[in-house]
Structure 1
Amino acid sequence: MNLGMETECVEYKRSTSEMREGMESIASILNKHGHGTLYFGVRPSDGEVVGQDVSEKTLRDISQKVGELIEPRIYPQIERLETLEGKAYVRVEFSGFETPYACDGRYRIRRADEDIVMSHAKLAEMMRESENRSNPWDSRNSDTPVSAVDEKALRRYVERGVEAKRIPFSYTEPTDVLSRLGLLCEDGMLTNAAAVCFVPSKDIMLKMGVFADSKRVHILDNQQVTGTLFSMVDAAELYILNNIRRAFVIDGSSLHRREVPEIPMDAVREALFNAFAHRQYEDDSAIQIDVFWDHVYIYSPGLFPVGFNPEDYLTGEESTSKPRNRLIATTLYRSGDIEIYGTGLQRIKAACDEANVPFSVTQSRHGVHVSFMRSEGIAAGNTPATVDARRQGDARTAILRYARGHNGITTAATSELVGEKDYTARRLLNSMVEEGLLEKTGGRKGRVYKAIRHSH
């Protein structure tokens, strides 16, 4: 019986004599994906079930080892399985989202089918995320006084909330309103959520550009914006609207003319609020808006929580929301600017489907990317997939240049170079091998991809 090859979420061990290595794989996979499966009694090289003795004690030993070595504690499902030929093996299914996970005090992370020592930078990032789960950034003290609040923005916010029937009181004055909204700290200073929403930022939080081509070389316009969250969403929405095409439609009954943008602005506004609500504010990168001839691109720093991905939300398979900035999300919900947590992507999809506008939501190593196709792009036969492929084409050029200059390139170096997750980088490298651009050298644990001399 064959179970297929190992993946980033599936690990094989020939027997429980490799118990410690198996525990390391569990922690590594949890740190990358939040869930996975470990098998004992399966050959790692090809996924063939070779079997081993499996008794109640075997299952108990595995369970005890998980409890002894993995921290924070997890509770896997451990079961004995048997092939038709009578070969016994063990399947361990596990999940957990309290990253980072350590095995015997050491932190590793999954890379393809390897368990590598986590970098200091990655561990620090995960530690920050762990701190945010118990002490969210947006609930912390911003050391900003109430006097810094843009009172007009706060008043308009309350008016929208009252109209949406989500704020049960009228505007009075800033301290009273912010206190009743739970946006003040015990010492009377603003929470980070209040500062983001109602205090004009000093740092550039939004960058916008229009490009003549797909290479980001010929810049037609470039703007950098500061402000409150609400003013920046308005600025980004207006910028996109002013730089895309609009059709004029005549209402047959009233003969009134109305403008119909080539991209549904309800979807754009939802994407913008999502970008600001769920971004990682400790990262000093800005929200980025790029307008190309064939698509509009929105980038937000910060990833989906470990174990969650955009596709699950788009298909409706996942509706559980774990917002990074729960207080900011709650604040936006009260004003009617966003709806129930976990439904934003489905609303974007519904608006785009109704307007027949293809779009995509993906994430790389550092953030989330949303692309809306424009009418010229659709007419040219472009799709979100071809846009992504074009970006990968640029990535291929960068990979080849690096491989030639460094006598090869690893999956890790590719991941860092193109800003993609390890499994995406590995898939890209393998596709370049199939195209005859690269060749694999070395074993599975230390593979290097080298440029073939005749490649261009």
Structure 2
Amino acid sequence: MEFSIKDIIEAGEGYHIEFKEFLDKSFVEEVCAFANSGGGRVILGVADNGTIKGTHTDNSFRSRVQDSLRQLQLYLDIEIRVQDNLIIVEVPEGSDKPYACSRGFFIRNGANSQKLTRNEIIDFFQKEGRIRFEELRNEKAVFDNDFDERAFENFLNMAGVSRSIDRMSLLRNLDCINDEGKLTNAGVLFFAKDIDFLMNHAIVVCVLYKGTEKVHILDKKDFKENIVENIDNAILFVKRHTNVQYKIEGVQREEIPDIPDVALREAIINAVCHRDYFDRSSNVLIEVFDDRVQISNPGGLPSGLRPSEFGRKSVTRNPLIASLLHRINYIEKVGTGISRIIQAVDENKKSSVEFEYNSGFSVIFRKLDRTSEADLGESSEKTKGKNAEIILEAIRDNPTVTREELCQITGLSIQGVEWNLRKLKAEGKIKRIGPAKGGHWEVIDYSC
């Protein structure tokens, strides 16, 4: 399936397309990145914003392009062709990765090229494989039956893409269909009618629990739409089941949620975008408890990202998905999500955030105590004494009792239990022996 250069430029830069207004030192870096990824085109004579500026196309200039390509190590058969006042450099996916240039090793990360060490590239391809899930053809999908025109139109509106390009050409430029016009896995995620049938493990599961344990389910939703709607629905689910306080100044009312909107949105998008889609055993899972919200996805840190680099360096597991989400402004800039979450939580001051990564990845928002004394079970001396007495009795019976178990025994929230424990310790009635994990309580004074 052939497409005109005008169509490609109209669609903009992406995982397989790079515009270069000039032949500069970064040119060979882009070529190297394409060779180490899925291949692509570098179009010389086009500005980053898609404006056609034109470039020299004479033999002397083409020789300069060839000289730049000779920096690539190892050799790769790269086609150079001239169309009007542009030079198109067709870079195939390399069969002998990793490739390097004089400035180092590079790989494609969304619509950008990122420098890596050789060992990181070797490790990346050993663990992730040379074929990416998002680029594979979906064997179940039949385009005429499964393609959702409504989802496609919504995407074009959000991305601001011109309707002057025919649908199939645009889908191919977006890498959502292959050369035979078959939907890729990325195409299914963004534009399929029934993701449940075609890719069941891509469903987003949201659960609301009563209390702080996984015992009583109050609400559960399996979101089975396209990836964009699943993100939106998951965000709404959490917001519907978490608290919002109101700050009124004059005639203005400000909403202050337990979890800042920016942090919640980034965490859910991160889970859906960066999960390991080769792992078909589990879904993105969002769990809402009385004291926390936990967002988990299969796949720990991607290859090439060490724990010490977490939050400071970006390595994208699914660069095509990231690129498509970037087009519709669901991702502002690759690599900034974790920093934005931390900053938003710090400014909000109503929750804390933790990150866990091993075989999976989790973001845990813990709600901080911002309730009134009445909410903590101390609205009266009678209530206060009753709760303290119950806690002392529970500790006497079981010195290793947990805060979560005390919640169930007293009926208080986790914040209420912690308030009472702090007060009992301050009054010298109890003390903690040993660490938080593995230690136990000791009752010193039974009087309340």
Question: TM-score normalised to the size of structure 1?
Answer: 0.51
Partner Cα separation in structure 2 for residue 378 and residue 135 of structure 1: 51
Partner Cα separation in structure 2 for residue 172 and residue 307 of structure 1: 37
Q: Partner residue of 1:226? A: 224
Whether contact under 8 Å (1:137, 1:192) holds in the other structure is yes
Q: Does 1:359 align with 2:348?
A: no
Partner SS state of residue 209, structure 1:
strand
Q: Partner residue of 1:106? A: none
**Cα shift readout 1:208-241 (whole Å, capped 9, x = no counterpart):** 1111232201222222221111111111101000
Partner SS state of residue 310, structure 2:
helix
Whether contact under 8 Å (2:204, 2:283) holds in the other structure is yes
Cα distance change, pair 341–289 in 1 and its aligned pair in 2 (3 A): same
Q: CA deviation at 1:251?
A: 4.5
The code of the aligned residue for 1:354 comes to E
Task: Name the Cα RMSD after superposition.
Answer: 3.6
Whether contact under 8 Å (1:193, 1:328) holds in the other structure is yes
Partner Cα separation in structure 1 for residue 328 and residue 263 of structure 2: 18
The code of the aligned residue for 1:191 comes to T
Q: CA deviation at 1:179?
A: 2.2
Q: CA deviation at 1:311?
A: 6.0
Q: Partner residue of 1:282? A: 278
Partner Cα separation in structure 2 for residue 359 and residue 433 of structure 1: 19
Cα distance change, pair 130–308 in 1 and its aligned pair in 2 (3 A): closer
Structure 1 segment 90-105 matched on structure 2, within 5 A: 96-97=119-120
Structure 1 segment 232-251 matched on structure 2, within 5 A: 232-251=230-249
Partner SS state of residue 302, structure 2:
coil
Q: Does 1:299 align with 2:292?
A: no
Q: Among 334, 341, 347, which residue is 2:334 paired with?
A: 341
Partner SS state of residue 332, structure 1:
helix
The code of the aligned residue for 1:140 comes to L
Partner Cα separation in structure 1 for residue 372 and residue 307 of structure 2: 27
Cα distance change, pair 333–433 in 1 and its aligned pair in 2 (3 A): closer
Q: Does 1:312 align with 2:309?
A: yes
Partner SS state of residue 347, structure 2:
helix
Cα distance change, pair 153–310 in 1 and its aligned pair in 2 (3 A): farther
Q: Among 176, 195, 202, which residue is 1:201 paired with?
A: 195
Whether contact under 8 Å (2:128, 2:303) holds in the other structure is no
**Cα shift readout 1:361-412 (whole Å, capped 9, x = no counterpart):** 1113x210101122448999xxxxxxxxxxxx99xxxxxxxxxxxxxxxxxx
Whether contact under 8 Å (1:184, 1:194) holds in the other structure is yes
Partner Cα separation in structure 1 for residue 332 and residue 263 of structure 2: 13
Partner Cα separation in structure 1 for residue 303 and residue 322 of structure 2: 19
Q: CA deviation at 1:180?
A: 3.0
Q: Among 263, 272, 282, which residue is 1:267 paired with?
A: 263
Cα distance change, pair 192–375 in 1 and its aligned pair in 2 (3 A): same
Q: Partner residue of 2:138? A: 142
**Cα shift readout 1:10-61 (whole Å, capped 9, x = no counterpart):** xxxxxxxxxxxxxxxxxxxxxxxxxxxxxxxxxxxxxxxxxxxxxxxxxxxx
Structure 1 segment 404-423 matched on structure 2, within 5 A: none
Partner Cα separation in structure 2 for residue 312 and residue 100 of structure 1: 16
Cα distance change, pair 175–262 in 1 and its aligned pair in 2 (3 A): same
Partner SS state of residue 335, structure 2:
coil
Q: Partner residue of 1:183? A: 176
Whether contact under 8 Å (2:172, 2:179) holds in the other structure is no
Partner Cα separation in structure 2 for residue 307 and residue 178 of structure 1: 30
Cα distance change, pair 150–258 in 1 and its aligned pair in 2 (3 A): farther
Q: CA deviation at 1:99?
A: 6.4
Q: Does 1:373 align with 2:366?
A: yes
Count of aligned positions: 262
The code of the aligned residue for 1:138 comes to E
Q: CA deviation at 1:310?
A: 5.9
Calculate percent identity across the aligned residue pairs. Answer: 27
Q: CA deviation at 1:185?
A: 0.6
Partner SS state of residue 238, structure 2:
helix
If you compute each CA radius of gyration, which structure gives the higher value, 1 or 2?
A: 2
The code of the aligned residue for 2:211 comes to D
Partner SS state of residue 235, structure 1:
helix
Cα distance change, pair 309–354 in 1 and its aligned pair in 2 (3 A): farther
Partner Cα separation in structure 2 for residue 215 and residue 433 of structure 1: 18
Cα distance change, pair 191–221 in 1 and its aligned pair in 2 (3 A): same
Cα distance change, pair 432–149 in 1 and its aligned pair in 2 (3 A): same
Whether contact under 8 Å (1:97, 1:306) holds in the other structure is yes
Whether contact under 8 Å (1:294, 1:376) holds in the other structure is no
Partner SS state of residue 190, structure 1:
coil
